Amino acid sequence: MADTSFDVIIIGSGPGGYVTAIRAAQLGFSTAIVEREYLGGICLNWGCIPTKALLRSAEIFHYLQHAKDYGLTAEKVGYDGAAVVKRSRAVAKRLNDGVGFLMKKNKVAVIWGEAAIDSPGRITVKAGRSEPPKGALGVGSYQAKHIIIATGARPRVLPGLESDKKLVWTYFEAMAPDRMPKSLLVVGSGAIGIEFASFYRSFGAEVTVVEVLPQILPVEDAEISGFARKQFEKQGIKIFTGAKVTRLDKKGDSVAATVDDGKGGTQTLTVERVISAVGVTGNIENLGLEKVGVKTERGAVVVDPLSRTNVPGIYAIGDVAGPPLLAHKAEHEGVICVEAIKGLKPHPMDRRLIPGCTYCSPQIASVGLTEAAAKEQKLDIRVGRFPFVGNGKAIALGEDQGLVKVIFDKKTGALLGAHMVGAEVTELIQGYVVAMNLETTEEELMHTVFPHPTLSEMMKEAVLDAYGRVLNI
């Protein structure tokens, strides 16, 4: 008879859940993970990873179209939309299989189905939404001293913008279209909306973005957001900020969208498809949280810095535990959670030091305070900037449009925030993240030798600029 009792049970196998399961197993806990649909959760199957595969295809297509800029010839450049999607799905499948392998390697039991908490220490699992992988446990009652909720999030739905999976899409449908639309309206300009706007524009769609807030990419530094907007508009993306979609009228194979421009005027846009990208909301329903008394607030489980809920033995990590809704936050949160359960006394997560990345073209990446946030906190700051146009590697790459911006505390020399827009900044940002975690000062950064020629040299130049010592501009 299969084991029904474990030290730790994790509900949800997304990046937060499966990484937590691995760390729990490493710490000697008998561990099980519950999944109702696909190992790896939304991120690996319908989010972070497959979207990056789509964007990679778009990037290569862009370079092929501009081959002459590099002294090259590429004739009859085209694309096969179905093949682009097929490659993305294959990447997701590979990683899905990889999670299964990691569970077996670490001797984590996989329970297939939908879990609900009956009481602290006990869950009931009902049938899942898909066929279970070989060797998975099934429906039944399971016990664990520690239950960790890692159920992630789903697309937020606004009245009138509900997906019909044909004309109005969420990211699920946008990731696997039956054909590439010739025109597209994206409602919402966060990371998801902008990434899809960038992807479809790269393949020739007429793209319009509508954002209710005053700037696109609302969580980013205003200067970086403004720079990115100009680049998107140069690419032909139409952007409305301070505006909202008030009505969608569906036709046979198109949608007429009424847009309130926020200035007293309205206009109607007719597009083939609409993507609703107005955020996500945590999966807190049907878990039995009310039954056992777990506190929730604003659609998220309330937790302390070690991911403990108000009910002993029940924890929550990742999107379901509130913002920022990022896979890497979920992973690290889960590791902290199980290490605390083990008694290792880990440092609680400092959410100021969680980087954010948007993989459009140009890329955007950031960590820490924006300039506006620093000023709101009445901090005395120094701000440094360095443009890509002053960097040799960027010019050689043909990627000379971008900006690196840093914010320092004038009194202590502490790096408060870093913000970037341009080629490969999602890879560069981690240098600043490490610096902030190590509490590095401006003096230490200025004495660090960066290799030449690299894009990373701009990181040092921006620091030098904050202190009036910039060299190459």
* Angstrom distance (rounded) from CA 153 to CA 157: 12
* Amino acid type, 191: A
* Angstrom distance (rounded) from CA 301 to CA 289: 9
Tokens representing 20?
């937590």
Query: If you write DSSP's letter for every residue of 75-121 in order, what string do you get?
Result: -S----HHHHHHHHHHHHHHHHHHHHHHHHHTTPEEEESEEEEEETT
Bridge partners (DSSP) of residue 140 are: 125
- Active site residue: 146, 332, 447, 452, which one? 452
* Angstrom distance (rounded) from CA 428 to CA 457: 10
62 is catalytic: no
* Angstrom distance (rounded) from CA 113 to CA 394: 49
Distance from the first to the final alpha carbon of the chain: 71
Cβ neighbours of 397 (radius 10 Å): 15
Burial class (CB in 10 A: 0-12, 13-18, 19+), 94: exposed
3-class DSSP assignment, residue 319 = helix
Catalytic residue set: 452
